[in-house]
Structures are given as C-alpha cells and as structure tokens.
Copies of this chain bind each other. A is one copy, B any other.
Amino acid sequence: MSATPTSNPVTAGMLVIGDEILSGRTKDKNIGTVADFCTEMGIELREVRVVADETDDIVAAINALRTRYTHVFTTGGIGPTHDDITADAVAMAFEVALPINDEAREIIETRLRKVNVEINPSVLRMARIPEGATLIANPVSGAPGFRMGNVHVMAGVPKIMQAMLNEIAKTLTSGRKMLSRELPCGVGESTVSTGLGEIQTEYPAVKIGSYPQMVNPQRDPDVAPVYAYIALRSTNEALLDEATAKVKALIDRLHAEKGITLSEEPKP
C-alpha cells in the first residue's frame, strides 16, 4: 500500500559460520556490522549464533533461526575450498537440490578472467546455489551470495559482507526504527540503579540499559573505577525523550548530592 515500514516488529537472527572464529584465529567483525545495520533498518536483531564448519551444526542453526525470525543473515563458508559448506547446509535445511547456477557461474568466470586467475573445476563450488534461491551481488570480488527464503547467505570477509548487506538493504522488510539516547553517569551502577529501575518501571515502552565502563584508576583513585553509561531505546520518540529527561534529572540529582560535575567524567 505504501512505503511505510510495517508496525509489527521485524526481527532477525544471525549465524556466523567458521572454525576460525571459534579457535580465535580470526576475530569477528561482522556481528557488530550486522547489529548496526539492523538498528538502522528498524530490524530487531534478537539472536546471534557462531558455529563451526560442521554441516549438521549449520543445518540445525539455520532451521532454528529461520523459523523464529523475520530475516536470517549468515556470514562465512561460501568460498571454493573444502571447508566452504554453507550452500550445502542451506540446501539441506530447505530440502532442495544444489545445482550449478548458470548466472552465478557466468559472474564468477567473468570475474576470474578479468583478474587473470585460471578457471578450474573447484571454482564451480561457488556457483552451486540452492534451487529456488536468488543471487546477492558481490561488487567486491564477484562470487555471489544468495537469498533462500528468509535466509541471506553472505561472505565472511568483512568488506565483501558489507557490500552484500548494502545490496540486500532495499529488498528487506524493515520495521519502525529504534531510536536511542545515551547519557554518561559519572557515577557507578550501584549509585544509579535504584532510581534507574524506577524510571524503567514507569516507561515500559522504553528499554533502559546501563553499561559499565572502566575508568582509569590513576585518574580517579577515590571513586569506583567503573562508571555507568545509560542507553535508552524506543520506537516512540516522545516517550523516549520523556524518559531520557527523567534519567538526566536523576543523574543531576546524584551529582548534586555528591558534588560531582560532568566534566570529571571519562569518555566512553
């Protein structure tokens, strides 16, 4: 009817696939990127799982997430080597065949000719796309991802994954955007928690989180070394601003009681 996003919550699950994350060899950067993307799109990222390069584990995770959330995003395991088994797992999860996709094959072979890399049979692994899936363009290195049902299968290399996210952004159902405000406390969580809990009870439509952050002990030896930062989130801007004002007043009151000024606070 219109371009207005749906008012129902639009949710997502993410599946990070790869031994290298679980062994510590590679430090994941994609979770943060997908989290930011979802927030920007008005999609609630509800759960992330990281699993190894094991077909059964990937199939189980895909089936758990795709039945539970509006969208699923996967990263990793779509290259040409023996440990790239994500396409196999998606085909098994959806119980469909995994044929060579002519469009994918053409894209990959064109790219390899361009960068002067030999086209050998292993390249065809990357052209195997589950039956019924549509391709997700890879403007960085050619080999495409794909969308099967509500599951978006993307590369693990962060730059390629980001490019694929940009590609799919326009195709996704999005929701009401989650707005956020953040306030530094300049005091520890123990000090602010009672008043904060009362404000949370008063504003159930605003999600209030308290995030402790280490303070340089050399700088503030006589106060608690962990200060709280208060994040408020809601799709309702009026309520969000009201609740934020109350938290601000709470912080000001605590500061007045303790003779603290905001300039003493560390930056997050």
Cβ of A115 and Cβ of B225 under 8 Å apart? Answer: yes
**Cα–Cα distance between A160 and B209 once the two chains are bound (Å):** 19
Out of B16, B25, B192, which one reaches A231, CB within 8 Å?
B25
Minimum Cβ distance to chain B for residue A60 (Å): 10
Cβ of B122 and Cβ of A193 under 8 Å apart? Answer: yes
Residue of A23, A32, A121 with most chain B CB atoms under a 10 A cut-off: A23
A interface SS class = mixed
Complex interface: chain B residues within 8 A of A213 (CB): 157
Cβ of B81 and Cβ of A197 under 8 Å apart? Answer: yes
> Could you tell me which residues of chain A, from 21 to 46, have a CB within 8 Å of some CB in chain B?
21-28, 31-32, 35-39, 44-46
So how many copies of this chain end up in the complex? 2
Complex interface: chain B residues within 8 A of A47 (CB): 22, 49-52, 57
Indicate whether A82 reaches chain B with its CB closer than 8 angstroms. yes
Indicate whether A118 reaches chain B with its CB closer than 8 angstroms. yes
Complex interface: chain B residues within 8 A of A19 (CB): 207, 209, 233
Interface 9-residue window, one of A128-136, A183-191, A235-243: A183-191
Cβ of B225 and Cβ of A83 under 8 Å apart? Answer: no
Cβ of A120 and Cβ of B190 under 8 Å apart? Answer: yes
Minimum Cβ distance to chain B for residue A200 (Å): 5
Cβ of B224 and Cβ of A117 under 8 Å apart? Answer: yes
Cβ of B25 and Cβ of A211 under 8 Å apart? Answer: yes
Interface size of A by Cβ–Cβ distance < 8 Å? 83
Residue on B nearest A192 in the bound complex, by CB: B81
Cβ of A209 and Cβ of B53 under 8 Å apart? Answer: yes
Indicate whether A261 reaches chain B with its CB closer than 8 angstroms. no
Minimum Cβ distance to chain B for residue A196 (Å): 6
Cβ of A79 and Cβ of B27 under 8 Å apart? Answer: no
**Cα–Cα distance between A21 and B39 once the two chains are bound (Å):** 11
Indicate whether A154 reaches chain B with its CB closer than 8 angstroms. no
Residue on B nearest A221 in the bound complex, by CB: B115
**Cα–Cα distance between A166 and B120 once the two chains are bound (Å):** 48
Complex interface: chain B residues within 8 A of A125 (CB): 193
Out of B25, B51, B79, which one reaches A212, CB within 8 Å?
B79
> Could you tell me which residues of chain A, from 146 to 204, have a CB within 8 Å of some CB in chain B?
156-157, 159-160, 178, 180, 182, 188-194, 196-197, 200
